Structure 1
Amino acid sequence: MKDDLRVQIVDDDFHVARLHATYVNAAPGYMALEPVGTGGAALEAIHAFRPDLVLVDIYLPDGNGLDILRGLDIDAFVLSAASDPSSVRKAMRRGALGYLIKPFSEKQLAEKLRGYARYRRLLGSESALDQEVLERAVRQLHASDAQTAKARTVTETAVLGALGQTPGALTAVDVSASVGISRATAQRYLSALVEDGSVDVNLRYGTTGRPEHRYSLRAT
């Protein structure tokens, strides 16, 4: 689908790259591009296709995968067998948003991808962020699904409370008025709650013909 986040996998092991592509394609909202196996091919693919996220190995036949991150304005996770602290620190210094040590399970990568999607959603607004939203967005990159469900901020708890106080669904405008936050902030929190499975969203067409997003707590 055109709105899927596109992922470029960089790994010189063809079988591993294909396996990781399978993991990515199984994650809702993601699409794996054709994997590449060298740093040179990675740079060409990144410039040609402008993926949303790069999954890069460190050990490549034509150099260190971390060199790909240098100077590129793109989000990336490192997927590598390199487990030494020096490699991890270098990856973080060069802008890696996450690091998975091989071998890892499909579930582990899926959690990272869900966290990245929540991070993107929270930072997807054109309006200014407040500190609480910023910190929550960064936490999504490192929290497991279980931790995300438990680590509710004050504002997020208030948004859930507003949804729980009415038998019907609410719009972002309704939630912003109830909680006392801007519509843009309410929209960011609602979108993140939809992403982590706490809230359902449905479209309703009003008299103007324009669709309206309405939110409600997901039944448990």
Structure 2
Amino acid sequence: MSNTFSVLIVEDDFHVGRLHAGYVDAVPGFHALPPAPTAAEGLKVITAQRPDLVLLDVYLPDASGLDLLRTIDTDAMMLSAASDPESLRKAMRRGALAYLIKPFSAEVLATRLRGYARYRRVLSETGTVTQDRLESAWQALHPNSPTAGAKSNSATEIAVLAALATRGDQSAADVAAAVGISRTTAQRYLSSLADDGAIAITLRYGTTGRP
């Protein structure tokens, strides 16, 4: 999986498109492509460049963003002033990962993007997806859902934090050994904690096999 997620914004208002692109570029690990002003242009960019994530407005000059959502096989979130229940239900039925009602702050979008990064990371691991892993992915996408609190209270996360408390400067391998989990799982928890601002991750140079 790429270290940077490419994001296409499909928005007919030039100023709003640039504003939202700035919001995206301010989140580490995300890069906004030039916004597309129409559904047709958006589809052309999606087909040619295959962005990781599409941020779609409902009101576009040539078609509804909800109709475009139905035709693309790409992760998508809706960013729109459309707040009627039917638009929201239709967006969910057609696969929108989130729906943000305009106007919203940079931090609201940043929270959704960080959640999306965690969602991709959880589901990028090899092996069969367990129910717990599926729940972790769902909670990452819906940080304000009633079940989202379960993530921060998980026994594994508490154990990871406890291991870090004994000595702050540790590698993923150190944490894995201390907690009794795989290195991959340790890296996932460490990345999630870093996304939430609970810890800081730095690269360690001069050693082998211990990033």
TM bracket, shorter-chain basis: 0.7 to 0.9
- Say if 1:172 and 1:5 are closer, same or farther in 2 by CA, change over 3 A: same
Give the distance between the partners of 2:111 and 2:7, measured in 1 at CA: 15
Deviation at 1:35, TM superposition (A): 0.6
Task: Tell me the TM-score normalized by structure 2.
Answer: 0.87
Deviation at 1:39, TM superposition (A): 1.0
Query: Partner of 1:156 in structure 2?
Result: 157
Q: Report how many aligned residue pairs link the two structures.
A: 207
Q: How does 1:51-200 map to 2 (within 5 A)?
A: 51-143=51-143, 151-164=152-165, 166-167=166-167, 169-200=169-200
Q: Which runs of 5+ in 2 are unaligned?
A: none
* Stretch of structure 1 that moved more, 39-48 or 15-24: 15-24
Structure 1 or 2: more strand by fraction: 1
1:122-167 C-alpha deviation (Å, 9 max, x unpaired):
22322334332321221121215xx779833222112212222x32
Give the distance between the partners of 2:169 and 2:128, measured in 1 at CA: 27
Q: Which runs of 5+ in 1 are unaligned?
A: 214-220
Query: Partner of 1:212 in structure 2?
Result: 210
Give the distance between the partners of 2:79 and 2:98, measured in 1 at CA: 9
Deviation at 1:196, TM superposition (A): 1.8
Q: Does 1:18 align with 2:18?
A: yes
**RMSD of aligned alpha carbons:** 2.3
Deviation at 1:168, TM superposition (A): 5.0
1:20-44 C-alpha deviation (Å, 9 max, x unpaired):
1121122222211111111111110
Instruction: Indicate conservation of the 8 Å contact 1:203/1:212, yes or no.
Output: no
Task: Tell me the TM-score normalized by structure 1.
Answer: 0.83
- Say if 1:78 and 1:26 are closer, same or farther in 2 by CA, change over 3 A: same
